[in-house]
Amino acid sequence: MLSDLADDYNTDFVIDPSEVELRLAKINIYKAPGPDGILNWLLRDFSQLLCYPLAAIFNASLREGFFPLIWKSANVVAIPKVHPPTSIQNDLRPISLLPTVAKFLEGIVKNWLIPPLDQLLDENQFG
């Protein structure tokens, strides 16, 4: 019974290193890194070397159904809406700094999910 589940892995949902490399090469280096501390310029400048191990990690994550805990964390920073802020409750808004590699994996999975679901979703659906 369990051996049947092991063979259930769909080869249509495999992340190619070239796709990871393209995404890494387009990183905005001026955005802040997330809680993992990996700098965006490092990911961009070494995209050719990092694309293979990252693709392997992404594929293992999908195959095993495990999302690393560090990718689930965020640094929350208060950004002022007005300068200078006078009220903590009204003049600040929270911004979550997420790990860049986690956003890459989420973006790839989103690109797989949206086309089949697009016809089922209402055009007025948001969020």
Instruction: Tell me, yes or no, if the pTM score tops 0.85.
Output: no
Give the residue from 105, 79, 101 showing the smallest Cα distance to 92: 79
With beta carbons less than 8 A apart as the criterion, state whether 127 and 64 touch: no
Mean pLDDT along residues 82-98: 87
pLDDT digits (tens, 9 = 90+) for 38-51: 999 999 999 999 99
Q: Which residue has the higher pLDDT, 119 or 53?
A: 53
pLDDT digits (tens, 9 = 90+) for 4-13: 555 555 666 7
Residue with tokens 């965006």: 40
Is the backbone of residue 74 left (phi > 0), alpha (psi -120 to 50) or beta?
A: beta
Torsion angle (degrees, nearest 10) of CA 95, 74, 20, 106: -80
Question: What are the residue boundaries of the structural domains of the chain, listed by start?
Answer: 2-118
Following DSSP, what letter does each residue of 57-93 receive, concatenated? HHHHHHHHT---HHHH--EEEEEESSSS---HHHHEE
